């Protein structure tokens, strides 16, 4: 079963290993945006751009030649048994890892944060890079471990107009017990998990400074609360990465981030055309 968030490639991992990227992309092209779930039938037909007709494969050497960060994505997916995979998620997590490496190697020291870890896929990637760079701080991970919180008005998507039951299913899909995440990340002594609804436990790190923050909470209110808490505590040049910017399924993320950019005017803000965004303080 694939997650609602990703345009999942409906092929088994065994099949994937045998396939080249060409076949994977062709399969993606033939895959309706959100597969089999009931809500998907309501999605409008895909346009040419959505079907990736314009992809120039010669530009994808990072994926064909398996860049170390792409290899890290696959190792982390395997170690955390992350059940969602897509080309676009690979692009977002590649950028996440690239930015994390930059912060670890160039920024003044500060702690690392992730808000929204699910099974720990991105946290595993961040932790591996932190180990590589001899990170001496703490990596704080905040999650309900019970899935998504309540939707705000900003989170209502016209395109993915879910009914009450579908909203509940979506929320629960992202629930993963804290013990599993701790076990998945047990090789990294600097990891600390905080179970609770954002922002309830942020006060426990109020005296810290942060060099790298990954916000992957999907919804307007917790994303907004996270930015308001962490932005003023970032080191100069600190980086905040947003996974959900531009997602049609989670429109509240863009609303929250755009509002925050207006308020804080960071030095730099970048929207990835394939989803996700980041800012430099
Ligand atoms: C999309 S998943 C995160 C994916 C993860 N970064 C990965 O690498 O697979 C969203 C996460 O946010 C958490 N979450 C959503 N709303 C929350 C809230 N208000 N407070 C705490 N956690 C929340 C969910 O439990 C879930 O683990």
Q: Is 151 in the pocket of ligand 1 (CB under 6 A)?
A: no
- Residues 6 or more apart whose CB falls under 8 angstroms from that of 83 comprise 1, 2, 3, 119
Is residue 157 within 8 A of residue 40, CB to CB? The reply is no
- For residue 79, how many C-alpha atoms fall within 13 Å in the half-sphere facing its CB? 22
- Residues 6 or more apart whose CB falls under 8 angstroms from that of 239 comprise 99, 100, 102, 103, 107, 211, 212, 213, 278, 279, 280, 281
Q: How many CB atoms lie within 10 A of CB 14?
A: 8
Whose alpha carbon is nearest atom 6 of ligand 1? Answer: 117
Is the pLDDT at 263 greater than 90, yes or no? yes
What is the C-alpha separation between 75 and 86, in angstroms, rounded?
15
Question: Ligand 1 centroid to 255 CA: how many Å?
Answer: 18
What is the C-alpha separation between 255 and 39, in angstroms, rounded?
23
- For residue 185, how many C-alpha atoms fall within 13 Å in the half-sphere facing its CB? 30
Q: Is 226 in the pocket of ligand 1 (CB under 6 A)?
A: no
Tokens for 135?
């990170």
Give the mean model confidence (pLDDT) for residues 185-191: 98
Is residue 119 within 8 A of residue 176, CB to CB? The reply is yes
The residues pairing with 115 across neighbouring beta strands, listed in sequence order, are 142, 215
Return the sign of the alpha-carbon dihedral for residues 170, 178, 186, 191: positive
What is the C-alpha separation between 71 and 222, in angstroms, rounded?
31
pTM over 0.75: yes
What is the C-alpha separation between 116 and 253, in angstroms, rounded?
13
Q: Which among 3, 82, 116 is the best mutation to test ligand 1's pocket, defined by most ligand atoms within 8 Å of the CB?
A: 116
Q: Which tens digits make up the pLDDT trace of 104-137?
A: 999 899 999 999 999 999 999 999 999 999 999 9
Tokens for 18?
């045998």
Which segment of 160-164, 170-174, 269-273 scores lowest on mean pLDDT?
Answer: 160-164
Question: Ligand 1 centroid to 174 CA: how many Å?
Answer: 6
Is the pLDDT at 35 greater than 90, yes or no? no
Q: Is 276 in the pocket of ligand 1 (CB under 6 A)?
A: no
Give the mean model confidence (pLDDT) for residues 206-212: 98
Is the pLDDT at 4 greater than 70, yes or no? no
Domains assigned to the chain: 91-280 (3.40.50.150)
Whose alpha carbon is nearest atom 27 of ligand 1? Answer: 118
Q: Which tens digits make up the pLDDT trace of 58-97?
A: 888 999 888 999 999 999 999 999 999 999 999 999 999 9
Q: Is 4 in the pocket of ligand 1 (CB under 6 A)?
A: no
- Give yes or no for a cis peptide into 199 (omega within 30° of 0): yes
């Amino acid at each position: 079963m694939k997650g609602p968030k990703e345009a999942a490639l409906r092929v088994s991992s065994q099949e994937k290993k045998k396939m080249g990227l060409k076949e994977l992309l062709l399969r993606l092209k033939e895959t309706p945006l959100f597969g089999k779930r009931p809500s998907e039938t309501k999605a409008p037909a895909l346009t040419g751009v959505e079907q990736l007709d314009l992809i120039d494969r010669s530009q994808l050497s990072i994926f064909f030649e398996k860049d170390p960060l792409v290899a890290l994505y696959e190792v982390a997916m395997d170690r955390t048994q992350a059940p969602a995979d897509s080309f676009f998620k690979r692009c977002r997590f590649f950028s996440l890892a690239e930015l994390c490496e930059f912060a670890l190697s160039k920024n003044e020291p500060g702690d690392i944060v992730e808000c929204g870890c699910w099974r720990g896929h991105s946290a595993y990637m961040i932790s591996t890079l932190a180990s590589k760079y001899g990170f001496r701080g703490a990596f704080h991970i905040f999650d309900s471990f019970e899935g998504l919180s309540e939707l705000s008005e900003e989170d209502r998507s016209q395109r993915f107009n879910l009914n009450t039951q579908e909203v509940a299913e979506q929320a629960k899909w992202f629930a993963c017990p804290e013990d599993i995440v701790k076990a998945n990340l047990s090789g990294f002594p600097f990891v600390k998990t905080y179970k609770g609804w954002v922002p309830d436990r942020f006060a426990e790190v109020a005296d810290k400074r942060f060099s790298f923050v990954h916000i992957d909470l999907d919804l307007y209110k917790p994303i907004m609360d996270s930015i308001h808490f962490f932005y003023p505590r970032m080191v100069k040049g600190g980086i905040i990465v947003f996974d959900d910017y531009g997602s049609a399924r989670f429109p509240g993320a863009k609303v929250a981030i755009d509002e925050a950019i207006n308020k804080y005017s960071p030095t730099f803000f970048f929207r990835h055309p394939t989803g996700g965004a980041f800012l430099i303080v």
